Amino acid sequence: MPELPEVETTRRGVAPYCEGQTVARVTVRNGSLRWPVPEDLAAQMEGQIIRTVDRRAKYLFLNLDHGTAIIHLGMSGSLRIITDNTPVQKHDHIDLVLHSGVILRFNDPRRFGCWLWSDSAATHPLIASLGPEPLSPEFTGRMLFRLSRSKNTPVKSFIMDSHVVVGVGNIYANEALFKAGIYPRRKAGRISLDRYLRLVESIRETLSAAILMGGTTLRDFVNSDGKPGYFAQSLLVYGRSGEPCPQCGTPLKEIRMSGRSTVYCGRCQR
């Protein structure tokens, strides 16, 4: 599933081609996504200028003069910049044809993504209750410490809660907890302020590095130019169960938490 670094990589890839461009035509080949594509999407967007391409959590915003298209890539979706002579593939569900001749094409084999329309994206039900961005000044160790008091939730689940902070998906939670030396099942309410300060820095460092490397491609994800992300080659623990810990050499362990793979070092993480 594309996580925050992959979505931010996509945003950076498509923004230069879309911002300032007028939407000439919207083609919806299959509107049966996670939620039905609005029947009036074309009417809302055609003739309008895309002012900015922004991201909030794992949602992309195409901000036009009179509303916003809210896009989620789901489990397997991608947005690519193509030319008009590129053949349409089986899972190419939506095209935005711009006056420049460039096409923004949405491909989603599993159809868990979405395209929605909102007059005010910030107040949309999917957006309004989200926590702060992990790379923003609002996300701090003191904030995590305050929110975690009396919480019996495992710290890994706590930092993956989008009401607490957005964009810390499973891969990046594994990596950040390892860097911070925190056992994933430790109760969130039993972690000290100093350790939360360290964890926030680990989350920032992990996500920033992943963005610079174009995200993590494990299965379906490709960037806006069709290329994979390369952060998978830099993963320290995720997907490396049984291998030596990169810090102490102890074999890494794997457990399941909320149905997700969790890899950690039993010696380094407490």
Within 10 A of 89 (CB to CB), how many other CB atoms are there? 9
Helix (H, G, I), strand (E, B) or coil at 63: strand
Burial class of 87 by CB neighbour count within 10 A (0 to 12, 13 to 18, 19+): exposed
Burial class of 180 by CB neighbour count within 10 A (0 to 12, 13 to 18, 19+): buried
| Per-residue tokens: 140 | 């701090």
Q: How far apart are CA 32 and CA 28, in angstroms?
A: 10
Burial class of 261 by CB neighbour count within 10 A (0 to 12, 13 to 18, 19+): middle
Q: How far apart are CA 263 and CA 236, in angstroms?
A: 10
Q: How far apart are CA 237 and CA 163, in angstroms?
A: 26
Choosing from 3, 6, 133, 175, the catalytic residue is 3
| Per-residue tokens: 265 | 């070092």
Catalytic residue check, 2:
yes
- The upper half-sphere exposure of residue 251, i.e. CA atoms within 13 Å in the direction of its Cβ, equals 4
Chain centroid to CA 150? 29
Contact 77, 94 (CB under 8 A): no
Choosing from 55, 56, 58, 195, the catalytic residue is 58
Choosing from 185, 187, 260, 267, the catalytic residue is 260
Catalytic residue check, 228:
no
Catalytic residue check, 3:
yes
Catalytic residues: 2-3, 58, 260
